[in-house]
């Protein structure tokens, strides 16, 4: 029951996060947005981390934590912010729903997880959904849509890898330690991105009340609390279950985008979402084995 409560709560938080990103990226820039959301997330979690400080006396897999921080926070959040400079927040959220599909593919390619026929059909259907959103203009993916749709797909690939990697290498670690370390690495990636691109967060941003709300919502809720919920689901259930939150995020993001940003909900967006949802369902659905069916019959 707890994992389902976490799933719904996370979808509500992350659905609104796409709106906050859309607002912040115009002022803070791509990497400034990453830095602010990660830093705010770390600040809100530090008091909780202090109560778990004994965990740091154990052997810490710093390399694994650094890899998860790069691929679950720093890089994908930069790619999402970059995407939202070109596409609407609700479109970004729909494309984000590709994450469970990419998680399955990454599991097959890098973690020796066998995919069944129905899962491959789901993967194919999910990518058809992306094509529908692009209105089947495949050529634009390498030109006009590379920054926008292309970068969002890359972000979901990063999420898929980090979810499988977390399940494989950080299952024994405390949720809070993983979340804080991930955000610290993400903040470092954001700061590095600003340094390389020569950008900076303008000081007057902190005098803008709406920007402050976006920073608190995106960082403290969308990065801090949300990370705890996400890693809780990975640990208590599975990487596939945790990433299935993207089933619900597009719906809440569409609502917030329409209400707060007046973003249109096009027919292609809805049809693409349906295709992606169908793909995610097939890619993550577990068939009951014969032995499980026999056990069920005995119980009944």
Distance separating alpha carbons of residues 244 and 300, to the nearest angstrom: 30
Return the closest-CA partner of residue 7 out of 273, 288, 284.
Answer: 284
SS3 label, residue 85 = coil
Distance separating alpha carbons of residues 300 and 173, to the nearest angstrom: 38
| Helical axes 267-284 vs 117-133, angle rounded to 10° | 170
Distance separating alpha carbons of residues 201 and 29, to the nearest angstrom: 7
Distance separating alpha carbons of residues 165 and 171, to the nearest angstrom: 9
Name residues whose C-beta falls within 8 Å of residue 142's C-beta, 6 or more positions apart in sequence.
Answer: 150
The pLDDT score that the predictor gives to residue 179 is 85
Structure-block tokens of residue 90:
């609700």
229 to 2, 20, 167, 198, 242: CA distances (angstroms): 10, 19, 15, 34, 9
* pLDDT tens column, 146-192: 788 889 989 999 998 998 898 888 888 877 888 889 999 999 999 99
The pLDDT score that the predictor gives to residue 269 is 85
The pLDDT score that the predictor gives to residue 300 is 33
Per-residue pLDDT of the chain (300 residues; tens, 9 = 90+): 788 888 888 888 888 888 999 999 989 999 999 999 999 989 888 887 777 777 666 778 889 999 999 999 999 999 999 999 988 888 888 888 788 888 888 888 888 777 788 888 888 888 888 778 776 665 555 555 678 888 998 999 999 899 889 888 888 887 788 888 999 999 999 999 999 999 888 888 888 888 899 999 888 888 778 877 887 887 787 776 776 776 777 887 888 888 888 888 888 888 888 888 888 788 777 655 444 434 444 433
Give the HSE-up count for residue 288: Cα atoms under 13 Å, Cβ half-sphere.
Answer: 8
The pLDDT score that the predictor gives to residue 293 is 38
Return the closest-CA partner of residue 91 out of 205, 254, 208.
Answer: 254
Residue for token pair 């494989």: 168
The pLDDT score that the predictor gives to residue 124 is 86
The pLDDT score that the predictor gives to residue 148 is 84
The pLDDT score that the predictor gives to residue 50 is 77
Distance separating alpha carbons of residues 295 and 278, to the nearest angstrom: 29
What pTM was computed for the model? 0.80
* pLDDT tens column, 160-170: 899 889 888 88
* pLDDT tens column, 217-254: 888 888 778 877 887 887 787 776 776 776 777 887 88
The pLDDT score that the predictor gives to residue 74 is 95
Distance separating alpha carbons of residues 34 and 16, to the nearest angstrom: 16
Percentage of the residues of the chain whose pLDDT score is greater than 70: 88
Distance separating alpha carbons of residues 94 and 203, to the nearest angstrom: 33
The pLDDT score that the predictor gives to residue 57 is 64
User: What element of type H or E holds 137?
Assistant: none
């Amino acid at each position: 029951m707890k994992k389902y409560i976490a799933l719904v709560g996370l979808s509500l938080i992350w659905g609104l996060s796409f709106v906050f990103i859309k607002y912040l990226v115009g002022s803070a820039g791509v990497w400034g947005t990453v830095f602010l959301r990660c830093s705010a997330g770390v600040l809100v979690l530090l008091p909780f981390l202090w109560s778990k400080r004994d965990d740091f006396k154990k052997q810490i897999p710093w390399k694994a934590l650094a890899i998860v921080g790069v691929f679950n926070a720093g890089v994908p959040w930069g790619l999402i912010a970059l995407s939202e400079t070109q596409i609407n927040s609700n479109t970004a959220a729909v494309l984000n729903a590709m994450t469970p599909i990419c998680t399955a593919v990454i599991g097959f390619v890098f973690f020796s997880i066998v995919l069944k026929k129905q899962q491959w059909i789901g993967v194919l259907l999910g990518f058809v959904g992306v094509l529908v959103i692009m209105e089947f203009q495949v050529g634009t993916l390498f030109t006009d849509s590379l920054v926008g749709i292309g970068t969002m797909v890359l972000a979901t690939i990063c999420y898929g890898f980090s979810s499988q990697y977390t399940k494989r290498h950080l299952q024994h670690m405390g949720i809070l330690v993983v979340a804080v370390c991930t955000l610290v690495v993400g903040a470092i990636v954001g700061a590095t991105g600003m340094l390389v691109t020569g950008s900076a967060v303008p000081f007057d941003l902190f005098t803008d009340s709406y920007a402050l709300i976006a920073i608190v919502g995106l960082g403290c809720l969308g990065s801090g609390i949300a990370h705890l919920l996400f890693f809780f689901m990975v640990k208590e259930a599975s990487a596939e279950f945790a990433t299935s939150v993207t089933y619900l995020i597009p719906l809440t993001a569409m609502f917030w985008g329409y209400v707060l940003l007046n973003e249109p909900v096009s027919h292609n967006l809805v049809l693409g979402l349906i295709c992606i949802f169908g793909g995610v369902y097939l890619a993550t659905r577990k068939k009951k084995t014969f032995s499980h069916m026999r056990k069920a019959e005995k119980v009944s």
